[in-house]
């Protein structure tokens, strides 16, 4: 039934303004009577930062910013869902239009700018489904006009630790001016010290909620050295590599749309995202696991992400072009690879190509 709905709805959604289509997709997920997802093959399961994932495929942040449909997304077959980015106070984000499809490139540019209903609304929804099971993490960010951005993150960790499976500290959106400055060494060290401390403070009541750090794929390698060093020293539980890119590969076909300001995602991000993931993997030295995101649009690119260093993967943009059948297709490809290579789970693939990827020419 999901497949039929998807096939019927997608051409219609693609004909709409991208943001209207997104709003409608959320509404459909809210009201469609989706059946429980079929149980996953146990060979796809893994334990990562203390959580048991039924499969490694996650819905990336930004689709369900306000935690409206996490359970519907789990029913589509995702192994986990990351809601958010949520900001402490509601804010409208940037003026429309602010979301663009690059059809010929299977890419997306967004400059939404953390449009958010705010923490209270998301907290209410997550609290209402807290006993429903399934892994639902929350991605948190600072308000645009916040006087103390670090305090925003601390407060959000304190509030969401009890109702989220994990919390992602998002300092990598290109659409909130100055946000990515939080990736600078001295600022990041202070931020991570305070968010990890906040997590410890609330853990007697909330449990040991993992804290992940989501970075931009646009960091210079020298800065990545610092970021990984600080993340290790401050003992974060994992990193997500990464967010959208402000770069524009010269290979893009949709050259006019490519001039829009914002973060590029989807297929054109795959090579850069994989390179940064591999560069991160070799620096982390197994201190914590990585989540790979950026341009996954097939079983092969999903496996490529795992081989570049990802214990888990996330996707968003390709759903626009490929639909939700992609989730099942990725699972089938991963299972076929396991059967072919005689492995009983995905562990042996994680990082298998990381060194080789870092030796390639820098992606355009």
Ligand X SMILES: Cc1cc2nc3c(=O)[nH]c(=O)nc-3n(C[C@H](O)[C@H](O)[C@H](O)COP(=O)(O)O)c2cc1C
From candidates 238, 289, 294, 299, binder to ligand X by CB under 6 A? 294
For the purposes of burial, counting CB atoms within 10 Å of the CB of 235, is it exposed (0-12), middle (13-18) or buried (19 or more)? Answer: exposed
Would you call the peptide bond into 97 cis, given omega within 30 degrees of 0 as the criterion?
yes
In the shown chain, the binding pattern of residues 16 to 55 toward ligand X, with x for contact by CB under 6 A and - for none, equals ----------------------------------------
Beta bridge partners of 312: 291
Residues touching ligand X, count (CB under 6 A):
27
In angstroms, how far is the first alpha carbon of the chain from the final one?
40
Q: How far is the CB of 54 from ligand X (least distance, A)?
A: 20
Would you say 23 or 50 has its CB closer to ligand X?
Answer: 23
Does 56 bind ligand X (CB under 6 A)? Our answer is no
Binding mask 260-279 for ligand X (x = CB under 6 A): -----xx--x----------
Going along the chain, which residue ranges are E strands? 46-48, 51-53, 57-59, 80-86, 99-102, 107-110, 135-140, 167-170, 211-215, 238-241, 263-266, 290-293, 312-315
In this chain, which stretch among 30-38, 40-48, 284-292, 314-322 interacts with ligand X, using CB under 6 A?
Answer: 314-322
**Binds ligand X (CB under 6 A): choice among 54, 56, 58, 62:** 62
Among 87, 243, 280, 301, binds ligand X (CB under 6 A): 243
139 binds ligand X (CB under 6 A): yes
Q: Kindly indicate which of the ranges 183-191, 275-283, 291-299, 352-360 contains the residues binding ligand X, using the contact rule CB under 6 A.
A: 291-299
State the minimum distance, in angstroms, from the CB of residue 277 to ligand X: 11
- Burial grade of 73 (CB within 10 A; 0-12, 13-18, 19 or more): buried
Answer whether 28's CB lies under 8 Å from 69's CB: no
Catalytic residue, from 173, 311, 317, 318: name it: 173
Q: Which residue lies nearest ligand X, judged by its C-beta? A: 62
| Alpha-carbon distances of 81 from 76, 266, 315, 326, 331, rounded to whole Å | 11, 18, 10, 16, 16
Q: Looking only at residues 162 through 221 of this chain, which bind ligand X when binding is defined by CB under 6 A?
A: 170, 173, 214
Q: Smallest distance, Å, CB 344 to ligand X?
A: 28
Q: Under rule CB under 6 A, which residues in 81-110 are in contact with ligand X?
A: 84-85, 99, 108, 110
Vertex 231 angle, CA 345 and 363, to 5°: 70
> Is residue 200 left, alpha or beta, with left meaning phi > 0 and alpha meaning psi from -120 to 50?
alpha
- Min CB(66)–ligand X separation in Å: 10
Nearer to ligand X, 54 or 93 (CB): 93
- Shortest spacing between CB 198 and ligand X, in angstroms: 19
8: number of Cβ within 10 Å: 10
Nearby residues of 321 by Cβ (< 8 Å), 6 or more positions away: 103, 106, 266, 267, 297
Which of 154, 317, 324, 349 touches ligand X by CB under 6 A? 317
- Calpha distance 276→126 (Å, rounded): 32
Three-state DSSP at 331 gives: helix
Residue 317 is among the residues annotated as catalytic for this protein: no
Instruction: Return residues touching ligand X (CB under 6 A).
Output: 60-62, 65, 84-85, 99, 108, 110, 112, 139, 170, 173, 214, 243-244, 265-266, 269, 293-296, 315-318
Residues annotated as part of the active site: 173
């Amino acid at each position: 039934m999901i497949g039929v709905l998807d096939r019927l709805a997608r051409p219609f959604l693609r004909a709409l303004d991208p943001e209207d289509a997104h709003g409608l997709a959320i509404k459909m997920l809210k009201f469609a009577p989706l059946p429980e997802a079929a149980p996953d093959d146990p060979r796809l399961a893994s334990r990562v930062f203390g959580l048991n994932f039924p499969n490694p495929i996650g819905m990336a942040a930004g689709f369900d910013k306000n935690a409206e449909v996490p359970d519907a997304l789990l029913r589509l077959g995702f192994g986990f869902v990351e809601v958010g980015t949520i900001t402490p106070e509601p804010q409208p984000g940037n003026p429309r239009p602010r979301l663009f499809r690059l059809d010929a490139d299977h890419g997306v540019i967004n400059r939404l700018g953390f449009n958010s209903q705010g923490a209270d609304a998301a907290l209410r929804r997550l609290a209402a489904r807290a006993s429903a099971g399934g892994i639902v993490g929350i991605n948190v960010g600072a308000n645009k006009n916040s006087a103390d951005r670090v305090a925003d993150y601390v407060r959000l960790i304190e509030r969401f630790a009890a109702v989220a499976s994990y919390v992602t500290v998002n300092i990598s959106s290109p659409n909130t001016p100055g946000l990515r400055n939080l990736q600078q060494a001295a600022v990041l060290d202070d931020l991570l010290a305070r968010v990890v401390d906040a997590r410890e403070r609330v853990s007697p009541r909330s449990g040991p909620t993992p804290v992940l750090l989501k970075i931009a794929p646009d960091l210079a390698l020298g800065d990545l050295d610092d970021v990984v060093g600080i993340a290790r020293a401050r003992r974060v539980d994992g990193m997500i590599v990464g967010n959208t890119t402000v770069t524009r590969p010269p290979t893009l076909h949709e050259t006019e749309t490519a001039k829009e300001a914002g973060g590029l995602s989807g297929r054109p991000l795959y090579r850069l995202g994989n390179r940064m993931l591999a560069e991160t993997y070799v620096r982390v030295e197994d201190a914590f696991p990585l989540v790979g995101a950026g341009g996954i649009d097939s079983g092969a690119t999903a496996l490529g992400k795992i081989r570049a260093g990802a214990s888990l993967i996330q996707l968003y943009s390709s759903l626009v072009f490929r639909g939700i059948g992609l989730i099942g297709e990725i699972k089938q490809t991963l299972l076929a690879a396991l059967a072919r290579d005689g492995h009983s789970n995905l562990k042996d693939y994680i990082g298998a190509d990381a060194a080789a990827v870092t030796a390639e020419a820098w992606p355009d």
